[in-house]
Amino acid sequence: MANTFSFNIGTDDIKKRSDNIKLGIHQAPARSLLYATGQVTSQEDMKKPFIAICNSYVEIVPGHVHLRELADVAKQAIRDAGGIPFEFNTIGVDDGIAMGHLGMRYSLPSREIIADSAETMITAHWFDGVFFMPNCDKITPGMIMASLRCNVPSIFVSGGPMKAGLDAHGKATTLSSMFEAVGAFKSGSMSEEEFLQLEQNACPTCGSCAGMFTANSMNTLMEMMGIALPYNGTALAISEERRDLVREGARQLMRMVRENVKPRDLITKEALDDSMALDMAMGGSTNTVLHLLSIAHEAGISYDQSDINKIAEKVPYLSKIAPSSKWAMEDVHEAGGVPAIMNELIRMGNVLNPDRMTVTGKTIRENVAEHKILNDDIIRKFDVNPYSKQGGLSILYGNLAPKGSVIKAGGVDSSITTFTGQAIVFDSETDAVEAIDAGKIHAGHVLVIRYEGPKGGPGMPEMLGPTSAITGMGLGKDVALVTDGRFSGASRGISVGHISPEAADGGPIALVTDGDNITIDLINRTINLHVPDDELTIRRSCLKPFVPKIRNGWMARYQALVTSANTGAVLKGAAELFPS
């Protein structure tokens, strides 16, 4: 009996997941290794909950360079709250740096690697809880996917947005300003001096890019999902408020571990509907559609992207943020932040499901009850002067996209409700950019970029270069862009992405030829190719089989396993690979 306590040093009143690696005589080797880490120093430490800090600290990504410091804040807060922290890291791709070349093909696929690696670490080491620290683009949804797979008590505190920059005239700038400046400089409407000044000042601090791009879209949506604290999406990366969020997140996570509150308890169909409603109200990135579909897939929730239009019909566009306006995330924060927008949507009635539980231990309604709009130029009231009565995203269907496509309607000039133009077709983004630079794209064109979908890309690269060049050249209202690839949250204009099925799967976009007329109708949410069916049948009979662009490494496997954009571009699972 004298040795019983020593062999069962993980026991207490509550059975913990981590007891699987620290309880009993057979786990003595594991305990020895745990002592060797220096994180566990006594038998009393061995009794405490083991908390993972899943950190995406990466030095080449400005949204993540400060996460090493924030992880230390989280560690101390976890220890103060009675846990033992263990940090591990994931990879991260900076889309702005990877844009326009081979690197961008690895961006969306990195979501799957992040999910897989986090799942591996959490499952292999039997953590009792997980403190997720994402910030940019694919990192946030990848971590959410992992949390749903593992279903261990989890909280998310992202790294926060960067401050907006200033151009030579004192105008606020974001990353999209720099991309659009490329087109302006090439067209001669911006001087070299202005261009270099902007280059050095557009992104002045660490943090996710300052506009409502993919990173900040996802980080605000986590507030509505109930898996992050209020102001997670808008408190600046460099602020003390961000550090306070980390400390409070650690305290709430320890409570969730005690109460066994898990991600699947919070991320429900209603939570995803509400998140999409917030996205509509803020005109978020089109990438959120991909990511919410992938999150639904991991949660085992049936979610059809056609449902998104039903949400758009009842949710007004309340806060127009860069790149669609001059306002940056810090402006939204000062105007009341996401809690004020959520409270305004609750005030509408029958839009949200506000009595859902969240990581605070309170409901959505309780979290935001006292949060009011502080500046109604930045956050508008639904019954006074919304930007539009319908949300900022739309799903378009038609004979060019039988399984759907996505447009950031809030990023289209308000004077445009329909657009018909002649197709000018390219089988790669590179060819399209060369044509733009050569002055071959003119008013009235519909620029079609295909074989850039999840399989065809591979990796469904973002088209920020082409959209920004078109806008920078002053053609934002006169040229449309249609692709089976996707767009950065920094993109704006008449830009339709996620065309499904993609060209590599024989979708109708593969049949378009130069000179075909295409109509994009934002009122009826349709996109149609004006070519007779019998002509399309003839073209299909001449269509050559798709030849994969990459035949080795991870991307070759990705091409073989990835599914369509309309299902979230997730990888095939056991049901598809091993049908009964």
Active site residues: 488
Listed in sequence order, the residues at least 6 apart from 551 whose beta carbon sits closer than 8 Å to its beta carbon are none
- What are 2's two structure tokens? 């004298």
Provide CB contacts within 8 A for 487, sequence distance 6+. 285, 286, 287, 408, 462, 463, 464, 467, 495, 497
Q: Is the Cβ–Cβ distance between 419 and 480 less than 8 Å?
A: yes
Contacts of 169 (CB under 8 A, 6+ apart): none
Tokens 């062999």, residue located: 7
User: In the chain, how long is the greatest CA-to-CA distance?
Assistant: 87
CB distance 489 to 199 below 8 Å = no
Half-sphere exposure of 68 (CA within 13 A, CB side): 7
- Cα–Cα distance for residue pair 184/500, rounded to 1 Å: 32
Give 330: exposed, middle or buried? Use CB within 10 Å, 0-12, 13-18, 19+. Answer: buried
Q: 380 is written with which tokens?
A: 């508008």
Task: Give the pair of three-digit tokens for residue 518.
Answer: 């295409």
Residue 263 token pair? 């991600």
Q: What is the Cβ-side half-sphere exposure of residue 156, based on CA atoms within 13 angstroms?
A: 36
CB atoms within 10 A of CB 87: 18
Distance CA 551, CA 559 (A): 9
Q: Which two tokens stand for residue 306?
A: 């056609």
The residue behind tokens 């990879």 is 91
Query: Measured between alpha carbons, how far is 83 from 40 in angstroms, rounded to an integer?
Result: 10
Q: What gap in Å lies between CA 513 and CA 400, rounded to an integer?
A: 12
User: Residue 9, CB half-sphere, CA atoms under 13 Å: how many?
Assistant: 22
**Closest-CA residue to 276 (of 309, 237, 300):** 309
